[in-house]
Amino acid sequence: MSIQFTDNISTAAKRDILDLAQKIGSFQQGDIADEAFRKFRLTRGVYGQRQPGVQMIRIKLPHGRITADQLIRIADLSDKYATGNLHATTRQDIQLHFVKLADSPQLWADLEDANITLKEACGNTVRNVTGSARAGIDPLEPFDITPYAHTIFDYFLRNPICQDMGRKFKISVSSSEKDSAYGYMHDVGLIARIQDGKRGFKVMLGGGLGAQPFSAQTAFEFLEEDQVIPFIEGVIRVFDRYGERQKRHKARMKYLLNDIGLEELLQRIADETPALRVKSYEVDNNAGNSLFETPPAERLDAPAPSIIEGDDQFDRWLKTNVFEQKQAGWYSVQLRVLLGDMHSDTARALAQIVKQYAADDIRVTVNQGYLLRFVKPEDLPAIYQALNALGLAEPGFDTTADITTCPGTDTCNLAISSSYGITRALEQMMHDEFPDLVFNDDIKIKISGCMNGCGQHSVANIGYHGSSLKNGAYVLPALQVLLGGGFNGKGEGLIADKVIKIPAKRGPDSLRYLLRDFEANTFDGEYYSDYYARQGKNYFYQLLKPLADLKTLVNSDYIDWDHTEQYVTEVGIGECASVLIDLVATTLTEASEKLGWAREALSESRWSDALYHTYNVFITGARAALMSRDVPTNTQHGIVSDFDKTFVGTPDFHQAEGEFKALVFSINKQEPSEEFARRFIAQGEAFLQAVQAYREVQIEQEGLPELQALTQALDS
């Protein structure tokens, strides 16, 4: 597979892309197991779709920041390799769908030419670092979190400590106490603060969505700015070592925190201090700015925003989609984008509008829209007309009328029912019956196609996730209704309650009931989540109970939104089939690869990286040895303990009790240094050779192993 590179692409990115191309070739020739290839490609942003033979490509945009030219590049590549659609996600990424696997390396190379990466956009890695879209212009912010979000992204990209974790890891950075990046639902959530004249962050740990959502716990009310990255590194090291690895649904950071408690978690993080690559990390306030336009100065003599006489729509747009920045005399324009989908032609036209009227610093927002910055007030009528011609001037950005949704059964393997269809139906109903909801920024509605929560339904004031219901011999599409999440009147982030499950076609009726009830019974100025708490879960269950009555079903209830055929429950066609492989041999190959990475890091004087790669050689080698004895493995800490118990005193490894554990965990007992790295790598190499020799003897004595079936495990 020949890849065309330009001089703009870094050596590291070229190697990643060539590695992807090589692995694709091996996979297509049958030389690499499906599961191993799936694990590999996910960390390169290549994700299997519901439809066989095509991939979703997730483009990683740190805190959603993008230039006009980058937007054009993505649009052009969507035309060339995908469907001409750009899907903005709740993690401020952009996704392309229906891409051929063989096209993904060149697509990646063409993105890297524009300084855009796919690396670690999916898989068990540190995912995209999200941040408040208003960062740098937010009137409420104590300082601009943009360079901090970018630096966190950059520090952990390709970092050895997060390349093979038990599950994904998510970080957000919020500009102000409004927590607009939803830190309370992240593995690490940061909120900007100033204390005693110093910059820092409130730090929250262990939040997460999915089938069992958790609110994050507060680790620090204030942590000075230079300590944030070292602390996050410590968190990830602890998660990597102690996190669940077998029970995938229990493998998130939130469960580790729940199991051992905050005090113990913080102690283990502190224990990692000697091993950290850095003990203090000062963030450059210009970090990540090289591609973007420098913010203009304040315009204290700027005119008031112009108006368009007799244009009601412009007036509503001005009130709901435009705000004055903290830089006096400059305005920001927010774009409401239905379903988060934008056609490539629209994207290219939007890029030209940005070049003419705004700063070259577009932000993808967590509610799947876009934010344009530094617009002159006298240009607002012109930019409105240009956006309106593209269908991008719908009023009500981030209001009740602006629903957040995932793609659902349109493309996702895990989805149970249509997200797009119900979203269109709800937005149309509100447009027709509740037109003033474009001015309500309290009630947020979020929808997911399944319980996993890509649409973030668990942190919505009113949330829905796709499900199914059985009625006799028949199955119908359903919606689980969740209420009371999001932010209350005190600014506290809440997790929604599951209230009731209803047929999907009754979704508009459910929202109609809820909105009319709120209009009739709320106190003046009462937030929706406070209203929900006051009335109680049973009140809303009784309110919606008639919609759950299956005795009143009609034929159309058995057909999902956006469909004409009768509904059947199905998960999309898997990313790969079951295969037969020698699991021990595959694991030993993986250990050898990690040893190669350790040697490379050593040659480049990256002592901390060399040590962590070698640590993973020990872990992976020990796992292979245990698997050869049919000893189940789980956490890294458990693997080390089980190896000690299983092989202590055997002639194959000549180790006394506790000796292996002491060796492996010496990684966090001393500072990273050349001497330590060289010694540790030599010990890791000797250990791996011993495991390989042990395995060869075992095969000689017992014969070739019985190949084991390995089935896919989807990664959301």
Per-residue pLDDT tens over the stretch 293-325: 988 999 989 999 988 888 999 999 999 999 999
CA neighbours within 13 Å on the CB side: how many for 5? 15
pLDDT number for residue 32: 81
Residue 589, classed as helix, strand or coil, is: helix
Mean pLDDT for the stretch of residues 537-558: 96
* Contact (Cβ atoms closer than 8 angstroms) between residue 626 and residue 653: no
In this predicted model, what pLDDT tens digit does every residue of 31-75 receive, in sequence order? Answer: 887 878 888 899 999 998 888 889 999 999 999 999 999 999 999
Q: What percentage of the chain exceeds 90 in pLDDT?
A: 82
Q: pLDDT by residue (tens digit) across 198-226?
A: 999 999 999 999 889 999 999 999 999 99
User: b/e string for 252-267 if b means 16 or more Cβ within 10 A?
Assistant: bbbbbbbeeeeeebbe
pLDDT value of residue 620:
95
What percentage of residues in the chain have a pLDDT greater than 70? 96
pLDDT, the chain, mean: 93
Q: At 174, is the pLDDT very low, low, confident or very high (cuts 50, 70, 90)?
A: very high
Taken as a whole, the chain contains a residue count of 716
Q: What pLDDT was estimated at residue 150?
A: 97
Cα gap 74→93, rounded to integer Å: 12
Fold of 312-389: Alpha-Beta Plaits (3.30.70)
DSSP per-residue letters across 269-286: HHHTGGG-S-S--PPPTT
Residue 141, token pair as written in the block: 């912010």
**Do 451 and 465 form a contact (C-beta atoms < 8 A)?**
yes
Residue 713: its pLDDT value, please?
37
Q: What pLDDT digit, counting tens, does each position of 642-669 carry?
A: 999 999 878 778 777 889 999 999 999 9
| pLDDT band for position 586 (cuts 50, 70, 90) | confident
Locus of tokens 């036209």: 349
The pLDDT of residue 709 is 44
Contact between 591 and 69 (Cβ < 8 Å): no
User: For residue 678, which of 612, 617, 611 has the smallest C-alpha distance?
Assistant: 611
Instruction: Give residue 674's pLDDT.
Output: 96
**pLDDT for the residue numbered 570:** 64
Which residue shows structure tokens 């106190």?
523
* Better-predicted residue by pLDDT, 590 or 109: 109
pLDDT of residue 190: 98
> 579-710 adopts what CATH topology?
Four Helix Bundle (Hemerythrin (Met), subunit A) (1.20.120)
pLDDT value of residue 604: 96
Average pLDDT over residues 628-645: 93
Quickly count: other Cβ atoms within 10 Å of residue 669's Cβ.
11
Residue 567 CA from chain centroid, whole number: 30
**pLDDT tens digits along 398-449:** 999 999 999 888 888 788 989 999 999 999 999 999 999 999 999 999 999 9
**Which of the four pLDDT bands, split at 50, 70 and 90, describes residue 711?**
very low
Distance CA 548, CA 504 (A): 10
How many helices and strands, by DSSP H and E, does the chain display?
20, 24
- 469-515 confidence digits (pLDDT tens): 999 999 999 999 999 999 999 999 999 999 999 999 999 999 999 99
Distance CA 558, CA 561 (A): 10
Task: Report, at the CATH architecture level, how domain 130-275 is classified.
Answer: 2-Layer Sandwich (3.30)
List Cβ neighbours of 339 (8 Å cut-off, separation of 6 or more).
87, 368, 405, 407, 420, 423, 424
pTM of structure: 0.93
Residue extents of the structural domains in the chain = 11-112, 130-275, 312-389, 404-558, 579-710
Residue 622 has pLDDT above 60, yes or no: yes
pLDDT recorded at residue 576: 33
CB count within 10 Å of CB 662 equals 13
State the pLDDT at residue 582: 62
CATH, range 11-112: 3.90.480.20
Same fold, 11-112 and 130-275: no
pLDDT above 90: residue 571: no
Q: Which CATH number fits domain 404-558: 3.40.50.300, 3.30.413.10, 3.40.50.10800, 3.40.50.2020?
A: 3.30.413.10
Separation between Cα atoms, residue 494 and residue 458, nearest integer Å = 9
